[in-house]
Amino acid sequence: MKAMSVFVLSVFLALPAGIASASDITVSGAASLTNAFTEVKGAFEKAHPDIHVATNFAASNPLLQQMREGAPVDVFASADQDTMNKAEQEKLIDPATRRNFVANSLVLIVPLSAKDNGPVKNAADLSKAKRIAVGNPDSVPAGRYARASLQSLGQWDALQPQMVQGESVRQVLDYVSRGEADAGFVYATDAFIAKDKVAIVDTMSGHEPILYPVAVTSSAKDKAAAQAFVDYLFAPEGRAILANYGFSEAK
């Protein structure tokens, strides 16, 4: 029996370090980060073969709710400050690890086929649209940014009858891409990845700066591995991937 124990121990010690100390982390990110973070995950895992990353994407508020309910999350990246502020207030993240890592902008899009002959040429034309897609302001940061922008223009209340709400910014993008809405509000990065289906007709203002914060969660199983992923977002390789998807550096 003693000989068998020594044998098992020797086999374990002979394993490559990456296998013996492999870590699994889960990264929950805002829906608008889906494409960029999917590529970041692959590049990060190549650079850190001892760490496996699982990703989970949705609107920021539902991700926060998942964390409240005990979902195993190691890194949280939100599309707004408000959601991350709530996570910090509820002690769901480690505030010492919180950093803004990218910036974005809110744009008004229309189906590409309607760019030249559709009813909406810019935000001033929104009253001509039959259906306007917007994220649910109660749960989707892009929806809150859109509401603030339209309120600054005095249009929010008047346009309510034409609005159809999406449960994520990607759902809004789908509505416009499929021609189910005459116009919609998404991030510039979303319009960028769907440039063969939608066209930007206006860049919005009147809302707070769109800065994305990221943090290691308080419940992270392997805080060092989670921090390594966060750090990678600021490394040249991570920054290059994010820039390729249209994100700008947070100032």
Binding residues: 32, 60, 142, 169, 187
Within 8 A by CB and 6+ apart from 87, the residues are 64, 67, 76, 78, 93, 215
Positions at the binding site for molybdate: 32, 60, 142, 169, 187
CB-based contact 166:134 (threshold 8 Å): yes
d(CA 96, CA 215): 8
Tokens 């394993």 map to which residue?
15
d(CA 142, CA 239): 22
What burial class does residue 66 get, using C-beta atoms within 10 Å of its C-beta: 0-12 exposed, 13-18 middle, 19+ buried?
A: middle
